[in-house]
Amino acid sequence: MKKLESLREYLLSSPLSIEPDDLLTFAEQGQVISYRGEQNNHFELSYLANIIITDFAGRAEEVAYLTLEWMKLNQPTYDQEALEFEVDILSQSAVDLSLRLKLSEVVKVDIKADGIHLKSCVGPDLTEILIPNQEQAANE
């Protein structure tokens, strides 16, 4: 789940001063989507990422903005309504914030003499890996 790891690192390195222990990350409602064929063993992981920031003293809008910026680079095909949130107000200066967004990533499978090699590919458009055209398949 490279994208979930990437989003976590992105938020931790942001100017929001989020502590690692206050940032919880989960993949929920996961699906493995198979495009297997004669020339292709690759598959796609699709899941609902749930990011929870506990005892957050900043503004929820800042987290939403940064998450949308990350999505623009890492999940550019996202829907306009792709980011959902919940806020639990703890006090006048702190909230628990939960963000949910749909993510997907391709896992490329290479079968070689020394074993099976899996590589998470997280580029913006990976359909050519999942469903290679006939010309690509002939060259593999």
Which tens digit of pLDDT belongs to each residue from 17-61? 999 999 999 999 999 988 777 777 888 888 999 999 999 998 899
81 beta partners: none
Determine the structural domain holding residue 10 and report its residue range.
2-139
Helix (H) or strand (E) holding 67: helix 60-74
Render pLDDT for 84-131 as a digit per residue (tens, 0 to 9): 999 999 999 999 999 999 998 888 888 889 988 888 776 655 555 555
Query: Based on the structure, what is the number of domains in the chain?
Result: 1
The structure's pTM equals: 0.78
Residue with tokens 């020339």: 39
CA distances from 95 to 82, 86, 89, 101 (A): 22, 10, 4, 19
* Per-residue pLDDT at 126: 57
13: confidence class by pLDDT, cuts 50, 70, 90: very high
The torsion angles phi and psi of 34, rounded to 5 degrees, stand at -100, 135
| Direct distance between the N- and C-terminal alpha carbons of the chain, in angstroms, rounded to an integer | 26
DSSP E strand boundaries for the chain? 23-34, 43-56, 83-91, 94-112, 115-121
User: Residue 4: how many CB atoms within 10 A of its CB?
Assistant: 19
* Per-residue pLDDT at 135: 46
DSSP three-state, residue 40: strand
